[in-house]
Amino acid sequence: MSDTPLTDAIRRYRATVSSRLHVPSHGGGPGSPALHALWGDLLSWDVTEQPELDDLSHPDGPIAEAQAIAARLFGARRAFFLTGGATLGVEAAVFAALQGGGALLAARDSHRSLLGAALVKGMEIVLLDPERDPDSGASLGVSLADVERALDDQPDIRAILVNYPSYLGIAPDLATIADLAHRRGVLVIADAAHGAHFGLDPRLPRPALERGADLVVLGMHKTGGALTQSAMLLIGGVAEGRADAVRLAISLLGTSSPSYLLMASIEQAVHDMRQAIPARLAVAIDAAQAVRGPARIEVAAPQDPLRIAWRARDAREIAESLALAGIRGEYVDGDTALYCVPFGARAADLEPLRRQVAGLPAPPPPAGLPRRGPARIRPQGALLADRRLVDIGKAAGLIAADIVAPVPPGIPALWPGERITREMASYLVSEASQGRRIMGVDHEQVWVVAE
């Protein structure tokens, strides 16, 4: 049996069909000469559901085979290819884990994609503050004690969502959290948007499924080597019965015309994970270690060596001068910058970065967000209600209608459905008046529910 059944099927289709009288309207090239001039042969790979090409919503041909190969590689019961990014994966995982009701436990620094499922299901979310690195303010994930207390106090929690790892590459002790959750009959969803490569090198954390997660979202484009917007959802043993709910969520919330370019790129990435990627990862990790060690530039010691994050008072200027030298990072905001090292990068590729940031003194940690206990929110009400903009200074006592997050560290101060405390409003006023960027705040105003 072939390792790449979907790619093979598309290749056969290209070779045998001379006239495409079906969508997409570029017809594989002739319908869009300008696109064809830009992308050439690539257009002919952009196909659609035809009998021999299978159908992602009810696969029983090459897509089913490709998903089965991926499931075997990751030790999963089922694998679902996704063309709506890790966003669709988080939505589908949350949707499926809470089939039958219950609340979700999540850290405040969870990705906003969980709001999509909250909107559809009307579920409640119990939010926990993550622990923070005292030197940088970076999120270290929720503490075990906080998870345990929340599960004790709110027995209707049916699932917990864990970032594995965070954007900065910090991976919590997933196995211990999963163990605790499973003893209470709670399902564990790992958001591994930034962890598709875990387990492919001994210096990386073990994969989420192996650490006990039941539903795992892999960002195949972020960290798996596939095309942008491609992702995968894996189901482990305990959650096998949720496969139908996952399928339902994907078909309700995703497109009915999934891109074959993306699906074929997922299949190829899975294939490469067994072949070329480990060696290329090893080269990149060596190169990244060479930058990190002498330069002492880590933010909170990430477990993923390919995430190089550093803090400096003039981070933006440094990032701009690197950009002038042709080196573009993932992200820079305030005093924090993040560079993601791609597979196969060599020490020489990272040398300009190393030179610029070696020996930089880190600035003091960002002003700490006021710490909060668990908050229980129902985002659906706040997202669907009439909304209005108010000055932050006048927002105390009102209910937030969107996420508000000072950057860095990017941990949301408010989620939709949260009542804004006086302390939080004055913290946000003070941050905004110092010129700090706050996502969700525009001209010192925030969206609130019009009560």
**Which residues sit at the interface with ligand PLP, rule CB under 6 A?**
85-87, 90, 111, 113, 163, 167, 191, 193, 219, 231
List CB contacts of 307: < 8 A, sequence separation 6 or more: 165, 168, 169, 194, 338, 339, 340, 341
CA 94 to chain centre: 14
Give the nearer residue to ligand PLP in terms of CB position, either 93 or 390. Answer: 93
CA distance 324 to 317: 11
Give the nearer residue to ligand PLP in terms of CB position, either 85 or 137. Answer: 85
Q: How far is the CB of 163 from ligand PLP (least distance, A)?
A: 5
H-state helical runs in 98-143? 114-121
Q: How far is the CB of 82 from ligand PLP (least distance, A)?
A: 9
Q: How far is the CB of 232 from ligand PLP (least distance, A)?
A: 11
Q: How far is the CB of 131 from ligand PLP (least distance, A)?
A: 17
List CB contacts of 200: < 8 A, sequence separation 6 or more: 273, 277, 278, 281
CA distance 229 to 308: 23
Q: How far apart are the first and last CA of the chain?
A: 61
Name the residue number minimizing CB distance to ligand PLP: 85
Q: Which amino acid is at 144?
A: L
Give the nearer residue to ligand PLP in terms of CB position, either 191 or 402. Answer: 191
Q: How far is the CB of 360 from ligand PLP (least distance, A)?
A: 25
Label the pairing between strands 131-132 and 139-141: antiparallel
Token output for 436: 């700090």
Give the nearer residue to ligand PLP in terms of CB position, either 219 or 412. Answer: 219
Q: How far is the CB of 61 from ligand PLP (least distance, A)?
A: 26
Tell me how far CA of residue 315 lies from CA of 165, 168, 322, 370, 408, in angstroms. 23, 16, 11, 25, 12
Give the nearer residue to ligand PLP in terms of CB position, either 127 or 231. Answer: 231
Q: How far is the CB of 136 from ligand PLP (least distance, A)?
A: 18
Q: How far is the CB of 90 from ligand PLP (least distance, A)?
A: 5
Q: Compute the Cα dihedral for 212, 214, 219, 225 and give only its sign.
A: positive
Give the nearer residue to ligand PLP in terms of CB position, either 88 or 446. Answer: 88
Give the nearer residue to ligand PLP in terms of CB position, either 191 or 214. Answer: 191
Tell me how far CA of residue 261 lies from CA of 6, 145, 225, 402, in angstroms. 10, 44, 13, 34
Q: Is 220 helix (H, G, I), strand (E, B) or coil?
A: helix
Give the nearer residue to ligand PLP in terms of CB position, either 136 or 356. Answer: 136
β partners of residue 309: 338
List CB contacts of 382: < 8 A, sequence separation 6 or more: 399, 400, 401, 416, 417, 449
Cβ contact 246:80 at 8 Å = yes
Give the nearer residue to ligand PLP in terms of CB position, either 253 or 375. Answer: 253
Q: Is 112 helix (H, G, I), strand (E, B) or coil?
A: coil
Q: How far is the CB of 203 from ligand PLP (least distance, A)?
A: 21
Q: How far is the CB of 427 from ligand PLP (least distance, A)?
A: 24
Cβ contact 380:428 at 8 Å = no
Give the nearer residue to ligand PLP in terms of CB position, either 68 or 407. Answer: 407
